[in-house]
Amino acid sequence: MENKIVLITGASSGIGRVTARELAHMGATVVLLGRNRERTEAARDAIIAETGNEKVDFILADFASLDAVRSAADEFKRRYQRLDVLVNNAGLYLDERQVSVDGYEMTFAVNHLATFLLTDLLLETLKASAPSRIVTVSSGAHMAGGVRFDDPRAMRGYNGFRAYADSKLANILFTYELARRLEGTGVTANCLHPGAVNSNFAAETKGLFGVFFNLGRIFMLSPEQGAATSIYLASSPEVDGVTGKYFAKRTAQTSSLASYDRGAQTRLWELSEELVRNDTPIML
């Protein structure tokens, strides 16, 4: 990864931080994108100390705001002329319905819309840097997901797990459509299931999901194990030119039947474009 520039979202903790550390170990210039200055700066300093690689930088952005995503993309392009790998790692799980500053259901806004927008804003830089890679962290939870085109703001019957599963399916639909649109550019797009990881993700989750999540921690993967597939897709020569795939345990896997619906892939892309490019949320 010498002479490679990598941008990782959600990189101040968990598998994002481990991914950043290991790619820095390989010699990459790593840019951490985080929400909290103190935590992100501390992660940057720790990674430099642990790896001896001083080419570790950070940019702040709260993915609950599309304007913050735009500012982060602009800041990255001011500092760097190229981007070899974008790792879309940031994500959240919420028990109760919340609304982003842009008026969208928060899980969908952070897990999908912010990822969609950041990737879109950096596409020209990625194309100019080809061969380059886009790696998006999804989840096996997508198997229970759907896309509610008639209710994208989850106004009816909100359920935390369903909202999360829907957003993770959206990550995969987005990846498959993106890979198709990038054919011939030298930019690859893949997504992955990291496994059930014992990190601070969903640490404050309540309800039945929270009970099972916290009871199951002793059986979960370490952040190092959970980050393995992200690191593999970001760096391994074994996946040169491989695109439009869903991975788990560093192996291409079959995702849900719903994820292969080309009509849904295109429809989600078009809806996402409409939502991120309007100052006033569309009331659907």
Contact indicator for 259, 205 with CB cutoff of 8 Å: no
CA atoms of 124 and 82, how far apart (whole Å): 9
Tokens of 62: 């709260």
Say what angle helices 207-215 and 160-181 make with each other, to 10 degrees: 80
CA atoms of 67 and 255, how far apart (whole Å): 32
Phi then psi for residue 247, to 5 deg, are -115, 150
Tokens of 283: 């009331």
Q: Which residues are catalytic?
A: 164
CA atoms of 169 and 193, how far apart (whole Å): 11
- Which stretches does DSSP call E strand in the chain? 5-9, 29-34, 56-60, 85-88, 132-137, 187-193, 246-248, 251-253
Q: Edge to edge, what strands does the sheet with 251-253 contain?
A: 56-60, 29-34, 5-9, 85-88, 132-137, 187-193, 246-248, 251-253
